[in-house]
A and B are shown apart, each in its own frame.
Chain A
Amino acid sequence: MTQPLFKIEDLKVSIEGKQILDGVNLTINAGEIHALMGRNGTGKSTLANTLMGHPKYEITGGKIWLAGQDITELEPEERSIAGLFLAFQYPIAIPGVNVVNFLRAALKAHRGGDMPIKDFRILLKEQMNLLSMQQSFASRYVNDGFSGGEKKRLEILQMAMLNPKMVLLDETDSGLDIDALKVVAEGINRTMTKDRGVLLVTHYQRILDFVKPNFVHVMMNGKIVKSGGPELALELEKQGYDWLGKETKHENQATAN
């Protein structure tokens, strides 16, 4: 069998000495979309940030593989260039840096050289149109004074421009109105290929109506406690997480015995 695109092995993470992730295992093959759900504060963003290499998150155990390469120790920029992308739950503002210059610099880092300005402009214009973004957006400062929806669109625009192999989407659907949700979902689907993997963190079934996951996972207390198909998300929508808590407690006991 060919190697998986992305693999997380028994990942343990702490922040400022406090353990948050307690052995996460997950394998994502090329062409697959995985949804990750779970209560507030269970460690979903911690996982996403750790995968991207945030220096604050200390890996105390486990490994991360991207296309057969161990990326556990890589710098964030190296991961990015290796083909990993994170759409942030809370994209941060970079005042004074406009979207065009930012995207040019990112693209330059990925390509190892400047793209001719003309080609860049054509590409940017095209991608912005596809995301129903006004041209004036390009000269605004990155995330500075952006509405919640605008921030999420900019994340998707970056994804489209950088064309990563493995995409982590951390609540990219949160705070979007219905139209924006469709635009963002379309952006994800349009750029999806058989070579790409997606891990989509969400609280809502709604986005999964547009972006159809192959698998759904539930995280609790820093662990993936249940995995299933798309029907799992529907069940969670109906019942919440309580029943899972009980179920997993049983499981834990079972394994303890």
Chain B
Amino acid sequence: MSEAIDAMNNEIGDIGTDYKYGFHDKEEFVFKSQRGLSREVIENLSRMKKEPQWMLEFRLKAYEIYMEKPMPTWANTELLNEIQFDNIYYYLRPQDSEKKNWEDVPEGIRKTFDRLGIPEAERKFLAGVTAQYESEVVYHSIREDLEKLGVKFFSMDQGLQEYPEIVKKYFGTVIPPNDNKFAALNSAVWSGGSFVYVPKGVHVAIPLQAYFRINAENMGQFERTLIIADEGSSVHYIEGCTAPTYSSDSLHSAVVELIALPGAKLRYTTIQNWSKNVFNLVTKRAQAYRDATVEWVDGNLGSKLTMKYPAIYLMEPGAHGEVLSIAFSGKDQHQDAGSKIIHAAPNTTSVITSKSISKDNGRTTYRGLVKVYPNAEGCKSSVKCDALLLNEGSRSDTYPTMEIDCENVQIGHEATVSKVGDEQLFYLRSRGLSEDAAAMMIVNGFIEPFTKELPLEYAVELNRLIQLEMEGSVG
């Protein structure tokens, strides 16, 4: 897929940065809300979606919470306060209904996703795809064999229409609207996202994918994802995100809820590559029940400010949680990321591995919490944070918090900060590699624990993205 995109890139050339997804289409839509958020916007949106009454009430209640909650007073408040909430379009409906056939998607949108390589990727290696453009899922498909096994993979909106009882049972239970201001905002205006239900004992061997694209300027995208892996099942879900490069900012504020029922295995992979004018404020949380495993594999390259701390609540004995993340921060970017693990039951285990790279005075922050409840005997947790700085002005901060209320546990924490070493560079250069190639190799090696967890196509793409970011950045 990359050759096609390269060719395209040459065509569009002058987007000002090396961000290859920075192009944008002409805006075409069937409905666009006014700027700013109000009860009216929410009521309108809910009516257009023909939602049940309880969902409208859920939204309006969340809206009240959102209005009451103050902005966070921690993290990068300076950047946070740049968000102009009244300037944002909260709902933009690009087409009248979701399509199952690629040919039925409006041509402009189809071309965009073609450029991004989505349908091709689907043909090659995916079990199902959801493509979201602005506020709505415009295309959706799942392999027939999985459908026959009872795997449900829909846009959240369609999931709500077709399985209201499952949605009502789980929606907002992992992340209630009052969790934080942005979760409340999402709960009020959510649109799109995925709904996945994997029945008992079903193994979805190849990944399901969602692709999120913001096109309009000052757009707010608030997708909502709920994944339920029933007992003994397994599934891997991947999401990718891009947006055009505009001079003024957009907001992406998603909520993702995962539920792994006893014995289930659920992996959620993200490659976030928003353009550098997107605020990416996402709440992601999972519950893992007896002997279940949840893994967040989280890569953050783009955005202006990302605040994202994927969490796992280990609810019952034997549950296991892993968070593996990389953050790559360049000029004028701040990746404030981390993870939260709550050991709420005995004999639960967790591993957090966080890798960050800062270049061109970029900033990364690791913010993490490991909490062990008083009764959670025999828990094990290990946290490892490594930061790599590519220039003097780059910055990395680590805030690991441990709240351990139980004695009989094993908790390990390790943090390193390093610079791309002169000796490493010299070693590689002495073998004929240019300085850039050498630095690239060191960086790729640094994030290898992450890349090796990705499907090959993603790993290749990630390496390429980083290569673009890295060009001429040693010093």
Interface residues of A (CB under 8 A from B): 49, 52-56, 75-77, 79-81, 85-86, 88, 91-92, 94-97, 101-102, 105-106, 109-110, 141, 158, 162
Contacts and interface: CB of A to CB of B under 8 A. Distances in A.
A96 B432 contact: no
A94 B427 contact: yes
A184 to B, nearest CB: 18
B173 to A, nearest CB: 39
Interface in B427-475: 427-435, 437-438, 441-442, 444-449
A80 B444 contact: no
A96 B445 contact: yes
Given A94-B445, A97-B445, A162 B431 contact: yes
A54 B428 CA distance: 11
Nearest to A158: B431
A92 B423 contact: yes
Nearest to B386: A95
A35 B298 CA distance: 53
B445 A55 contact: no
B432 A81 contact: yes
B422 interface: yes
Interface string B298-340: 0000000000000000000000000000000000000000000
Contacts of B442: 94, 97
A109 B444 contact: no
Nearest to A101: B441
A80 B448 contact: no
A56 B422 contact: yes
Contact of B424 (A54, A79, A92): A92
Given A77-B434, A109-B434, A92 B421 contact: yes
A146 to B, nearest CB: 13
Contacts of B433: 77, 105-106, 109
A141 B433 CA distance: 17
A26 to B, nearest CB: 20
A44 B433 CA distance: 25
B29 interface: no
B428 A86 contact: no
Nearest to A143: B427
Kindly state the interface size class of chain B when it binds its partner.
20 to 34
Given A54-B426, A56-B422, A109 B448 contact: no
Nearest to B428: A94
A91 B426 CA distance: 11
A19 to B, nearest CB: 21
Contacts of A76: 426, 429-430
A134 to B, nearest CB: 21
Most buried by A among B430, B434, B438: B430
B431 A55 contact: no
9 contacts: A55-B426, A75-B435, A85-B430, A95-B445, A96-B446, A102-B441, A106-B432, A109-B432, A158-B431
Contacts of B424: 92, 94
Given A52-B430, A86-B430, A141 B445 contact: yes
A57 to B, nearest CB: 10
A256 B133 CA distance: 84
A207 to B, nearest CB: 22
A162 B449 CA distance: 29
Nearest to B429: A76
- 3 A-B pairs with the lowest CB-CB distances in the bound complex, closest first: A96-B445, A96-B448, A109-B432
Contacts of B446: 95-96
A49 B442 CA distance: 21
B441 A55 contact: no
Contacts of A88: 427
A96 B426 contact: no
Contact of B449 (A55, A96, A102): A96
Contacts of A101: 441
A162 B444 CA distance: 23
A109 B431 CA distance: 8
Contacts of A53: 429-430
Contacts of A52: 426, 430
A105 B437 contact: yes
A97 B434 contact: no
B456 to A, nearest CB: 14
A96 B430 contact: no
A75 B445 contact: no
Contacts of B431: 77, 80, 102, 105-106, 109, 158, 162
B441 A77 contact: no
A106 B429 CA distance: 9
Nearest to A81: B432
Given A96-B444, A102-B441, A110 B432 contact: yes
A117 to B, nearest CB: 15
B427 A77 contact: no
A174 to B, nearest CB: 18
A77 B422 CA distance: 14
A96 B426 CA distance: 17
Nearest to B450: A96
Given A105-B437, A109-B434, A91 B427 contact: yes
Contacts of A75: 429, 435
A97 B429 contact: no
B429 A77 contact: yes
Contacts of B449: 96
A80 B432 contact: yes
Interface string B159-188: 000000000000000000000000000000
B388 to A, nearest CB: 11
A53 B77 CA distance: 46
A81 to B, nearest CB: 5
Contacts of A95: 445-446, 448
B428 to A, nearest CB: 7
A54 B441 CA distance: 19
Contacts of A106: 431-433
A48 to B, nearest CB: 10
A109 B430 contact: no
A3 B226 CA distance: 74
B432 A162 contact: yes
A98 to B, nearest CB: 8
Contacts of B421: 92
A106 B433 CA distance: 6
Contacts of B427: 88, 91-92, 94
Given A96-B445, A106-B432, 6 more contacts: A54-B426, A80-B432, A96-B449, A97-B442, A105-B431, A109-B434
A49 B422 CA distance: 13
Contacts of B432: 77, 80-81, 106, 109-110, 162
